[in-house]
Chains A and B, each alone.
Chain A
Amino acid sequence: MIARVFAVLVFAGALQAASAPDWVRAAMAVPVPAQPPRTSAVVLSDTTSLTIAPSGERKTVRRRVVKILAPAGRDYAYGVAMFDDRTKLRTLRAWSIEPSGEVHKLKERDAIEASASTFEVFTDAKLKYLDIPSEVGSVVATEYETREQPYEPATLWQFQEGIPVLRARLEARLPEGWRYTPTWMNHAAVEPLAGPAWELTDIPAIAVEPRMPGAGAIVGRLGVQWNASRSWSDVGAWYYGLAASRMAATPPLQAKARELTGGAADPVRALARFAQRDIRYVAIEIGIGGYQPHPAGEVLANRFGDCKDKATLLQAMLKELGVESHAVLVHTTRGAVDPSFPTVHTFNHVISAIRIPREKAKGLDAVVEHPKLGTLLLFDPTSTVTPFGQLPPYLQASRGLLVTPQGGELIELPAHAPEASALRRKAKLQLDANGVLRGTVEEVRTGAVASSWRGQLQALNAADRTKFVESALASHLAHQTASDVTIENLDDPEADLVVRYAVSAAGYAKRVADMILVRPRVLGAKGESTVPAAGRQHAYVTEGPSLQTDDVEIAIPAVVKLDELPKPVTVTTPHVQYTSNSTFEQGVLRYTRKYAMKTWSVERDGIASLNEAFAKIAADERASAVFK
């Protein structure tokens, strides 16, 4: 958005009257068929032309023509080209053809240049962005040309996007005798045309739905390997070649490894903890540095590095200990790694696989059994809130490339059992004669459930942490006041996160006629949001497996008598298990419940029953006991 504003400020009046190129005219000549409702723009044509030299050097020309159908479609009136120290941007141009037929042209000098991402302290990856003036009915066209020496002889072509594409084409000019291997992902295979070239028509927009998988897991793509048939092992070998020398031990590294493990009950854990907590995440990526780690000794000296730096340092230190370990290349979007197309471009993160004795795997969740390498513990030293023995939520039930000296192989990353991420809430409360509820609450979180709260709470100071708890309570209690908030083990991901507080809620008991209604649940919501099941195109992504229990005791004033209790509830689906029960004994209303979410993802045909389960849970949470 800032870029758009800047463009308007700086370049207003920079348009030149011009004529549109033939390829733009040709795309415009094709009638636009009726589009689904809410379609704001449509890609008339998107052609990527590759010319690959025998050296592997690649020229890419991309020509894209978009028609704006509605005001919101103006968000697609832009041209963008990425480049870096290895990829030279030769030209960037754009045209805007108004509904009247008047044509304006923009050149590269009209573009904004910016870093391609912002999380790094420094990266050489940059982009140029052209904001193209348009109105409803306009056609905007962009063309750019880049020259690069790619790291691998492969192309990953994404032809599907957020708006419909009428025609998408990938064409390549190859050196004599070169072969190619196409792989289709999230799309049926299409036969190549001469050239080779692949052409698709009438590609629907990606349906945007709540709780849908990440775009990387569902978008239509074509991967092509040029003049080679690269395997995952080849990709692994390539990374190993980059990283192996970076693991060389230095005297300070050896000394630090000895210092950390001397006397440690669990030396592997001690080193992992060091890489996770004492090495600050700082990304500096220049050229091959986007893939190649910094030397482990340098990372240790600086006490900072990015994901691959942290993993490499950990491996180097483990090696000093005589423990075998490997890098694992992963993507932080579940499902983004498609096993059918081996390429390094599909990864955006690196973690470690540590070989451990099988007997030591007990109690650890992030463990895979490898037929040759034995028991491997997966560990992400970049995630500072994930306990040793677990994977962060974004990596569970995913895939990774295990890199070994022999190459690499794709492995499945485990999903953790619900028990690995738990919330245990205990509340001891008293209701007074005026309907005020008072008492104490203890919430113990482990695993991913704890990670989520840790990440949020660590970023807050003490006063804001209390506000955080108050805000959470306000969703359940109208007149809430929280006090005496204490948090244990906030900075220790391996320990349970314990939050205790005192709570009071005026007017909690509701008097209606001769009845007093008391909601036994008091706090917390277990179910997740429901989504329309009819017409749903994508699977439902849950908040992840977890096991949650509530045990709430409310001491009721002796002057009132129980009239009715809420009925016990049991919900059982393939994905959700829920039970709740209310009792009243010796003046205490007790509510116990247990909720288990068992999966990360529910396929379309399971969404209706998932909705039903969540609705039943929500109804139970609203239910009241009646006293008179």
Chain B
Amino acid sequence: MTTEEILRADALTLGKLIKSGGLTSEQVTETFISAIKAEDGKYNSYITVSEDAVSEACEIDKKIKAGELTGPLAGVPIAVKDNICTKGMLTSCASKMLSNFVPPYDATVVKKLKAEGMVILGKTNMDEFAMGSTTETSFYGPTVNPCGTNRVPGGSSGGSAASVAADLAPVSLGSDTGGSIRQPASFCGVTGLKPTYGTVSRYGLVAFASSLDQIGPIGKTAVDCAALFNIISGVDERDQSSTVSTKVDVDAVAGFDVSGKKIGIPEEYFGEGIDEDVKARVMEAVKFYEDHGATVEKFKMPIIEYAIPTYYIIACAEACSNLSRYDGVKYGFRPEGVDNLMDLYIRSRSEGFGMEVKRRIMLGNFVLSSGYYDAYYNKALQAKALIKKAFDEAFEKYDVVIGPVAPTTALKAGESLSDPLKMYLGDICTVLINIVGLPAISVPCGNDKDGMPVGMQIIGKHYDEQTILGFAANYQRGV
């Protein structure tokens, strides 16, 4: 295989070749590390590149040869978002606050990757503390979209999506609180799965909004995402929200047949504010399913109108509480020359956090504060109940619900930072899914008039990753 073929290959192909002896993990890992060193200056998709990846790959080769590692992705390298703890490797959350934080432990998902025999290439760039939709709020500078260098890669897992799109990682892990896997996957033209809440342990994921956060795979194909999902999912006693062990049948995903399946299309996902090109590409993909025997029905879901307010109230409320741990005491940034404890707290936080993080902490404190709690936070939890009811009703009728991932394709760099509300509104299609904990996948489905990728979002029932991955794989097989 040539260097170029290795870089372009999907993860399962690399895994098969490594297992059969056609390639070694060392060869593959070295190829990716060299490519990152040569090319990532253009994209800034990595914050940290592992110094030990190649030597780790050598050890893994020995274990594969000895028959100790037999998984489908053994020996395959992977990029990991920088809010997932890696023992002994900087985990900065793209924040000045954690720019010196070296975790003393591995996140559960990282332990699972290592047990599979996957090699960590490095840690990917993101919006600071996963707060943002463009990867422009990173303390380490913005990531550039490989599909168009004047475009943002989306966010917050922009580095994880861009590294796969730029052939600088075969697969990656991201995290999704309100669309942070699906939207960058859509903007960069790759596939990203946000699993059902509770199927993948959050232990070792730096918390943003604990009732919404979920780790998931990003890859070149839905089948790769299925294989990686099987590795990272499972019950973990260290995460009390981890519920049942969901595994998918990867062969069944690859050969999935959509005939007889029912697709629901919420009209509001194709209304005002959604780009014409985005609507057209997604509907063409839906037509593909119809041509292959699925039935399609439009339905109304008026609650979508309240998705953004509900999401930002819940997410910011949880964030302001989760981020109260950053006080300059136990770990993280501490400024020089503080003379009392309160000064230490205030200066550590004021100098350590970027503006978007501060804004969300303040918004969270506002909606939880005395006098406003009922009107905002409690109201949002009531809206959450209504959103759940709307999806429960939809899934009585349909196997999947399909819409766009985002109202637009990748935005031009620098466009949304000046107007946070505008950035928040771009999350309209994704945030509902986190509020009710459903699984959803972002699948590339063609380009807009400027050649930028459009993403289709396939939403499934709780724990039904099998069906949405199957739908995605069926489309990728047929197109």
Mutual binders A and B = no
* Chain A residues packing against B (C-beta within 8 Å): none
* Chain B residues packing against A (C-beta within 8 Å): none
